[in-house]
Each structure stands twice: as structure tokens, then as C-alpha cells.
């Protein structure tokens, strides 16, 4: 098997992992919309597992890129799939490398878009949570130390609010 075919195979595997990651991020988006904390926790674990697989495969891909660059006499520096496709002698291999590269770029752009949407949802959820906490804090009189067991808290409580707290 040629190095180009081997690289295409590894890139296809990476693309499959990116598709899996994209699916997990879409599920995460739905969990965020439903405020499903258990679902979010599961999605975070799945993202971490897929990320670890991508990282592990990345080392193999980089190693193969370096080997191909040396074999094809590519320019020094960090070799890229696009640059190696230009130096590939077999036009079919070059075409397959570029097609696989384009699929990876499209999928990674989709992942970035989904992450941006999820980030917006998280930022909005944090804002809602902060406003809720601020509102709850405005209802109470003071800190927990001001309340004695079984006694009515009458200082630092807004008029009209009767709070009874027993520890």
C-alpha cells in the first residue's frame, strides 16, 4: 500500500471520529436546550473519549505526513495534506487526498459552528442562573447566621416577608 493510500485511510478514520464528535455536540445542544444536566455530563464524557481517539490518531497522521514529505521531496516545515497532494506523483492519490481533506475541513467547520451555538446557550444559561440567584438573594433578609432556630427573622427582612428557618 502506498503512503498516500495509507494516509487517506487514516484521514477517513479521523473524519469518522469528527462525524461522531459532531453528533455528540448536536446531542449536547439538545441537552442544553432541555437543561438536561445528566445528559450534558454524558455528552462531556463522550466528547472527551472521542477527543482522546482523535489525539491518538493525530500522531500517526503527523508521522505519515513527515514520511510522505520526505519521500516526495516536499518543502521543509510542517507538511500539510494540501501541500503533499500537490507533490503526489499519482493523480488519483492526489485527488483522494484533496477530497478527504475537504471532507475533514467541512466537518471541522460544522463542529466549530455547533460549538459556537452551544457556547451561546451556555452563556445564556449562566446569565439566567445568575439572575435567579440574584433574585433569590434579594428575597432573603441577610446571611444564614442571622436566623436562629425556630425564631422569626425580623431584622434585615423586607417588610411583608415572613421567613422562618430552623436548623
108-118: pLDDT as tens digits: 999 999 999 99
Residue 17 pLDDT: 95
pLDDT band at residue 75 using 50, 70 and 90 as cut-offs: low
pLDDT at 43 over 60: yes
Give the percent of the chain with pLDDT over 90.
44
Nearest residue to 110 via CA among 16, 27, 13, 18:
18
CA distance linking residue 62 with residue 77, whole number of Å:
12
Question: Mind listing the domains of the chain with CATH numbers?
Answer: 3-121 (1.20.58)
**Whole-angstrom distance, CA of residue 115 vs CA of residue 44:** 13
Over the stretch 113-152, which tens digit does the pLDDT of each residue have? Answer: 999 999 998 888 888 888 888 877 777 654 444 444 555 4
Amino acid at each position: 500500500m502506498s503512503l498516500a493510500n495509507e494516509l487517506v485511510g487514516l484521514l477517513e478514520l479521523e473524519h469518522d471520529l469528527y462525524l461522531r464528535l459532531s453528533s455528540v455536540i448536536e446531542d449536547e445542544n439538545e441537552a442544553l436546550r432541555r437543561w438536561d444536566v445528566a445528559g450534558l455530563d454524558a455528552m462531556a464524557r463522550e466528547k472527551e473519549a472521542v477527543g482522546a481517539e482523535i489525539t491518538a490518531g493525530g500522531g500517526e497522521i503527523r508521522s505519515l505526513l513527515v514520511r510522505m514529505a520526505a519521500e516526495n521531496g516536499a518543502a521543509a516545515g510542517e507538511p500539510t495534506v494540501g501541500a503533499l497532494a500537490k507533490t503526489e506523483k499519482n493523480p488519483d492519490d492526489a485527488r483522494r487526498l484533496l477530497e478527504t481533506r475537504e471532507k475533514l475541513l467541512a466537518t471541522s467547520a460544522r463542529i466549530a459552528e455547533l460549538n459556537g451555538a452551544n457556547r451561546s446557550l451556555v452563556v445564556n444559561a449562566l446569565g439566567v442562573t445568575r439572575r435567579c440567584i440574584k433574585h433569590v438573594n434579594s428575597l432573603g433578609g441577610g446571611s444564614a447566621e442571622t436566623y436562629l432556630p425556630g425564631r422569626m427573622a425580623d431584622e434585615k427582612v423586607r417588610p411583608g416577608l415572613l421567613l422562618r428557618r430552623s436548623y
